[in-house]
Amino acid sequence: MKAVSTSYELETGDIEVMSNLTSITANVHRISRLEAVKGKKTESPAKVYLDLKVQPHPEHLPSVLGETEELDLVLSPEDALEIGILMVAMGLEDKSQLEVDGIFKRLFELTCELHQ
């Protein structure tokens, strides 16, 4: 049996990725969910992936991050849900009721699409 994958292309604004040594700027260009293969025991069940493209740094960084072109953020579905709920709540903080209604409508439509 094959693993099932769902992907969405998107373009985000700049996302700052920081470490204790430096920072880089990246943009999410795809979010995917890869399901575990049904009937097969695996150490890595379903995961949610955010694929980020790193923008060239204006100055050469003498580190591993300085040469990085792509990053992946890999989350369990449970962590993606909890982080996502908190991020949505924080993002809605200064939206109008009309904007909030539109976002919840879009969330409902995406949820229906993913569960068909």
The sign of the torsion formed by the CA atoms of 40, 44, 45, 46 equals: negative
CA 113 from centre of chain: 18
71: nearest Cα among 46, 50, 44, 48 = 50
Does residue 105 have a pLDDT over 90?
A: yes
Q: If DSSP codes are grouped into helix, strand and coil, which group holds residue 43? A: coil
**pLDDT for the residue numbered 61:** 60
Which residue did the predictor score with more confidence, 18 or 109? 109
Give percent helix, percent strand, percent coil of the chain, each to the nearest 5. Answer: 30, 30, 40
Give residue limits of the domains in the chain.
1-75, 78-116
**pLDDT for the residue numbered 45:** 74
* 64-101 residue pLDDT tens: 666 778 889 999 989 999 999 999 999 999 999 999 99
* 36-72 residue pLDDT tens: 666 666 665 789 999 999 888 766 666 666 677 888 9
Angle, CA 61 vertex, CA 48 and CA 64 arms, to 5°: 45
**pLDDT for the residue numbered 18:** 82
Instruction: Enter the pTM of the model.
Output: 0.75
* 19-38 residue pLDDT tens: 777 788 899 999 998 886 66
Does residue 1 have a pLDDT over 60?
A: no
